[in-house]
Amino acid sequence: MLCFGPFVFGQTLSTTVDGHTMVDPGSPTVLYSPFNWNVLSGAASTINSGAYLRTLFGGTSISVLTDTSANMRPYSQLWVRVDGQPWVQHKLSPHTTLNIASGLQKRTHLMELIVKSTSETIPRWSNSATMVTITGFVLDLGETLSLPQRRSKNILIFGDSITEGVRTVNCDATEDTDRNDVLGDYSFAISTAFDAEVGIVAFGASGFTRSGTGGVPPLPLSYNYLYAGVARRFNSPPPDLVIYNYGTNDGGNIAGPLQQVVNSIIDMVPNSKHHVLIPLNNSHSDDIAWAISAIANSRVTHSATAGFFDPRDSCDGLHPYNYSHLSLIAPRLFPAIRDLLYPSAAPAGVSNGQ
């Protein structure tokens, strides 16, 4: 079993350590999901379930180095797979080296990593104890990483626990990271249904007017930050589409905060489209319709979700099970998303979900 201590790359993107090649997470040979990673030389960090990376590696083995010095239980969990084989679950812990694969055929391989779940019960915004921090990739001596093909579109999804993957598995596990899995969520299903890279930014209990679990501010105060003190970049790449699924946790009128966020992002990326989902519990439909009308921009639309979710397809009447997300909810969302991403392909009379 490989075990490496902390390592500082400095200005290099790869180096040799203990008979292996180590590659900096800031290397341009790693494809990160947009809008939810802070990628620097020496560390790539995220607090978002659904954040992912892909890279091609040569040789027979790969390990991922992490920094868990600030983490607490319940530790964040990951899904990792190589060459499209079944996903393997990993849990961050004081053991910082994740041994992903060994004994492979000596050739090029694809590694994919997804943040499965992060806890709602511990700090996740300021001094985050849920942070997933990648500090390096360990390869066979002399091998390298290379960049997979990037998909042609970019989607940013803002949402609450229903978008984060909370309780998609069950309501019973002692640690909430075992109950939650973004891989069984409509949000991640979008990334597999379209030629798009998808950045999921979702936090349980949050809304346009309400703070989320773990100290996450309401969306008007958090949309432009990855986490406390670290700005979110909207221009590299710019989003083709921004989806909003908020309101379930909000009381009062959300029209003003919704306008504020949408207009602010449009100011930064004027060619982006924006699509607001009426919450699955059908709340705030009037607020949302009023806000869309007030924004008065043809690139800003909304759609109803009435009938998408049956509370019986849930362990608590609120959070859909994975089968509900994947087979009942997501397929109903796909037509509107497709028409927004590829309007020239839409049949006559399609109104982009309105």
CATH number at residue 200: 3.40.50.1110
124 lies in the same domain as 34: yes
Distance CA 97, CA 278 (A): 42
> What are the Cα distances from residue 184, in Å, to 98, 105, 311, 319, 329?
23, 31, 17, 12, 11
List, in sequence order, every residue forming a beta bridge with 245; answer none if it has no partner: 159
Q: Tell me: the pLDDT tens digits for 102-139?
A: 999 999 999 999 999 999 999 999 999 999 999 999 99
Q: In sequence order, which ranges of 157-274 are alpha helices (DSSP H)?
A: 161-164, 176-179, 186-193, 219-222, 255-268
Contact by Cβ (8 Å): 199, 226: no
Contact by Cβ (8 Å): 139, 17: no
List, in sequence order, every residue forming a beta bridge with 62; answer none if it has no partner: 101, 139
Rounded to 5°, the CA angle 195-38-185 comes to 45
120 lies in the same domain as 261: no
With respect to residue 354, please indicate whether it lies within any of the assigned structural domains: no
CA dihedral 105→111→116→119, nearest 10 degrees, is 100
- Residue 139 is part of which domain span? 16-146
134 lies in the same domain as 164: no
> Is residue 181 over pLDDT 70?
yes
Element (H, E) at 14: strand 14-17
With respect to residue 9, please indicate whether it lies within any of the assigned structural domains: no
172 lies in the same domain as 264: yes
Contact by Cβ (8 Å): 350, 341: no
Q: Tell me: the pLDDT tens digits for 218-253?
A: 999 999 999 999 999 999 999 999 999 999 999 999
114 lies in the same domain as 201: no
Q: Tell me: the pLDDT tens digits for 292-342?
A: 999 999 999 999 999 999 999 999 999 999 999 999 999 999 999 999 999
CATH assignment of the domain containing 141:
2.60.120.260
Distance CA 354, CA 237 (A): 27
Counting the structural domains of the chain, the total is 2
Q: Where are the beta strands (DSSP E) in 102-245?
A: 107-117, 132-140, 145-146, 153-159, 196-202, 225-227, 230-231, 241-245
With respect to residue 201, please indicate whether it lies within any of the assigned structural domains: yes
